[in-house]
A and B are shown apart, each in its own frame.
Chain A
Amino acid sequence: MATPYSSDHLESNSIDLNKNAIVAFASRFDPQPYHLDADAADQSIFGGLCASGWHIAALATRLVIETLLDNGLPFVEMTSVSQLRWRQPTFVNEQISVRVALGESLEESPIPDTRCQRLEIEVCNGNGAVVATMTASAAIASEPALVAST
Chain B
Amino acid sequence: MTDLYLRDRWFEDLPVGEFHVFGSHTFSELEIVEFAESFDPRPESTDPDQARLNHRQGLVASPWLVTAMWMRKMVDYMEVYAQGVNDGRRNGAGVAINDLQWLEPVRPGHTLTYTYEIIAKPDRVIREKWGLIRSRNEAFNQYNNKVMQFEIDILAERQPQESDDSQQ
Q: Chain B residues near A54 (CB, 8 Å)?
A: 64, 67-68, 71
Q: How many residues belonging to B are interface residues under a CB distance threshold of 8 Å?
A: 34
Cβ-defined contact, A113 with B64, below 8 A = no
Interfacial chain A residues near B91, Cβ < 8 Å: 32-34, 44-45
State the Cβ distance, A116 to closest chain B Cβ, in Å: 12
Q: Is A31 an interface residue (CB 8 A)?
A: yes
Q: Are B42 and A65 in contact (CB under 8 A)?
A: yes
Specify which chain B residues have a CB less than 8 angstroms from the CB of A55 in the assembled complex: 68
- B96–A83 contact, CB under 8 A? yes
Chain A neighbourhood of B40, CB < 8 A:
61-62, 65
Given A80-B102, A111-B55, decide whether A57 and B94 contact each other with a Cβ distance below 8 A: no
In the bound complex, residues from chain A placing their C-beta under 8 Å from that of B41 are: 62
Provide the residues of chain B in CB contact with A86, threshold 8 Å. Answer: 93-96
Q: Mark B119-159, 1 if CB is under 8 A from A, else 0.
A: 00000000000000000000000000000001000010000
Cβ of B97 < 8 Å from any Cβ of A? yes
Query: Count of A residues near B, CB < 8 Å?
Result: 36
Tell me whether chain A's interface is mostly helix, strand or loop, or mixed.
mixed
Chain B neighbourhood of A28, CB < 8 A: 68, 72
B72 touches A85 (CB 8 A): no
- Given known contacts A32-B75, A76-B55, A79-B101, A58 and B68 CB-to-CB distance under 8 angstroms: yes
Q: Does A77 contact B (CB under 8 A)?
A: yes
Which B residue's beta carbon lies closest to that of A43?
Answer: B88
Q: How far is the CB of A55 from chain B (nearest CB, A)?
A: 8
From A46, A80, A111, B100 is in contact (CB under 8 Å) with A80
Given the contacts A34-B91, A78-B63, A112-B55, A29 and B68 also touching, CB distance less than 8 Å: yes
Instruction: Out of A34, A62, A78, A113, name the residue touching B55 (CB < 8 Å).
Output: A113
| Interface: B69 (CB within 8 A) | yes
Q: A33-B86, A76-B55, A77-B55 are in contact. Are A57 and B95 (CB under 8 A)?
A: no
Q: For the complex of A and B, list the 8 residue pairs with the smallest distance between their C-beta atoms, beginning with the closest.
A: A84-B97, A58-B64, A29-B68, A81-B100, A58-B39, A54-B68, A80-B101, A62-B39
